[in-house]
Structure 1
């Protein structure tokens, strides 16, 4: 396995605290006639945790895919530390953006340590011939990389299971391993796609503490999550996507108190919503066709 030659006590390449590391502007993603993401702007600074929430189908994962090079946005641009990110995932990772996935994507038949070592490939300094000839430089680099991977396993609490196969880990620990592998690429920005999905309350709390520890290293974190308690406890700012558009962005209190957010999650129209009158007319027509006319002004059924 090829490795790099740098190890530090903190995550290398961490940006200066407060610096904008992610600047997404006007990101739009269309699939034929379907617009999954429409004109979304979002910034994330180093040492900051930002949440991205919204109902199912709101475009959250599609937006993540646009940020990480899995999709090329139809319109808009994504910059990392003022540099335009290329539309190729391996180049995005090399630039300093790492991610986890909603569905865990580990190498099941590799050990826990080997999975983390795979995450080091973007920081490899040894070339092909060095790996083939396996000279002294290669062995030094290999040892350095293993030491760094071991540090990361200790950081996420998996050091005692370094030699276990990834497939044999409990679900919550597989999530931790995926985060460790992402951190192995030495990112300045970490994207987490539903990191607590399927977890019990104890595992969720442990994940929250881990994300705070990552933030304390100066790494920016952008997280998608459906657990609202987790998101609002964790994040400095929260952005809400609804039908591919950013509805609101602000602190937890602002977002929780916004009637549009409540309506989006409950699936109920707001009072004075422009579409409410049309919906009432349709409902009245359906009731009349069924032989149960309604008084649309009062919004209540009337006896005939």
Structure 2
């Protein structure tokens, strides 16, 4: 991966990590409803960070704010120190890629072609080069195919490169979506419920894949409802409840927090954030969404 993974040593000899993502005071309102309120979150190079919370907590809405699908009502999102543009394909070009809770592939394209779609933000050939199909175009196309093949091998799908995406089993479609996201050479990968609907063996394989992605130098932010998966995987975990960050810390800290337990059991706790009902949050998110015209990681509209 063409990702900057350099670190510097502090005076004490401990390596310091670069801040890849820095979200500050992110707030998203839909009319009079606040779905996300004042959320701060950082992700550093070499880290896997989890984002959990009950249904309707605002997790996917927060992801949409990070990736340019929504423009936050308040706050800002920085990637490697620069404020991100409020457009999804520019966010992808900057170095952030994502997958979606509901798989969004080009079902009538092959596995290889789906990954090639994710490469277009990293190719320099323009319109006339594509029309004239000169030597430069053919070199770029060959390089993209080579890289796509490497990514398919990385996720274990090289032997199905010529299969239609719609014919893949569910777990392999998830892998393909990850490979397509990786094709844009991100420095940060956002995964929205990557193990949803998977059996234990598929979940374990996904866990190993995410570790391998981290080892390639890519920071990872993941939403998931499988708590065992999250706590085995993540260096830090942040908890959203009714659109606000309740707590952030290591797995032991989060698992032992009584407020987290109460939130998942549906029990009220002192100073619980937010006043909106769960049904209102879900309805607002659904109303704000639209069917995407381009399911690639570069120009998508989330629900």
Give yes or no for TM over 0.5: yes
Is the Cα contact below 8 Å between 2:237 and 2:250 reproduced in 1? Answer: yes
Where does residue 13 of structure 1 map in the other structure?
A: 3
TM-score when scaled to structure 1? 0.85
CA contact (8 A) 2:3 2:217 kept: no
The secondary structure found in structure 2 opposite 1:139 is helix
- Decide which moves more: 130-139 or 51-60: 130-139
Report the equivalent of 1:31: 30
Residue matched to 2:126: 127
How far, CA to CA, are the matches of 1:189 and 1:109 in structure 2? 28
C-alpha contact 2:51 2:222 (8 A) present in aligned 1: yes
For 1:199, the equivalent position in structure 2 comes to 198
1:122-171 deviation digits (Å, cap 9, x = unpaired):
11111111111111111111111100000000000000000000000000
Unaligned runs of 5+ in 1: 1-10, 276-304
CA distance in 2, matches of 1:264, 1:14: 38
CA distance in 2 between counterparts of 1:105 and 1:269 reads 36
Contact 1:130 1:138 in 2 (8 A): yes
Question: Which residue does the alignment assign to 1:112?
Answer: 111
Q: Render the CA deviation track for 1:236-278: whole Å, top value 9, x for unaligned.
A: 00000000000000000000000000000001234xx479xxx
Partner Cα separation in structure 2 for residue 194 and residue 274 of structure 1 = 28
**Residue 257 of structure 2 corresponds to which residue in structure 1?**
258
Report if aligned partners of 2:36, 2:61 keep a CA contact under 8 Å in 1: yes
The alignment's TM-score, normalised by the length of structure 2, stands at 0.86
State the secondary structure of the residue aligned to 1:16: coil
Contact 2:46/2:218 (8 A) holds in 1:
yes
Matching of residue 180 in structure 1 with residue 170 in structure 2: no
Q: Find the counterpart in structure 1 of residue 21 from structure 2.
A: 22
> For structure 2, which runs of at least 5 residues remain unmatched after alignment?
8-16, 273-303
Task: Deviation per CA, 1:214-234: give whole Å up to 9, x if none.
Answer: 000110000000000000000
Q: Distance between the aligned counterparts of 2:213 and 2:188, measured in 1?
A: 10
Structure 1 counterpart SS, 2:197? coil
Kept in 2: contact 1:16–1:218 (CA 8 A): no
- 2:138 maps to 139
In 1, are the aligned partners of 2:3 and 2:218 still within 8 Å (CA)?
Answer: no
Kindly indicate whether the alpha-carbon contact (under 8 Å) linking 1:98 and 1:187 is maintained by their aligned counterparts in 2.
yes
Count of equivalent residues: 263
Corresponding residue of 1:72: 71
Contact 1:150 1:159 in 2 (8 A): yes
User: How far apart in 1 are the matches of 2:150 and 2:64?
Assistant: 29
- C-alpha distance in 2 between matches for 1:166 and 1:158: 11
Give the greater-gyration-radius structure (CA).
1
CA–CA separation in structure 1 for the residues paired with 2:79 and 2:154: 26
Matches within 5 A, 1:84-123: 84-123=83-122
Provide the residue aligned with 2:82 in structure 1. 83
Q: Is the 8 A contact 2:51 2:238 kept in 1?
A: yes
**C-alpha displacement of 1:47:** 1.1
Whether contact under 8 Å (1:14, 1:187) holds in the other structure is no
- In 2: Cα distance, 1:82 partner to 1:274 partner: 33
**Residue 112 of structure 2 aligns to a residue in which SS?**
helix
The answer (yes or no) to whether the contact 1:175–1:195 under 8 Å persists in 2 is yes
SS at match of 1:146: helix
For the pair 1:233 / 2:232, whether they are aligned, the reply is yes
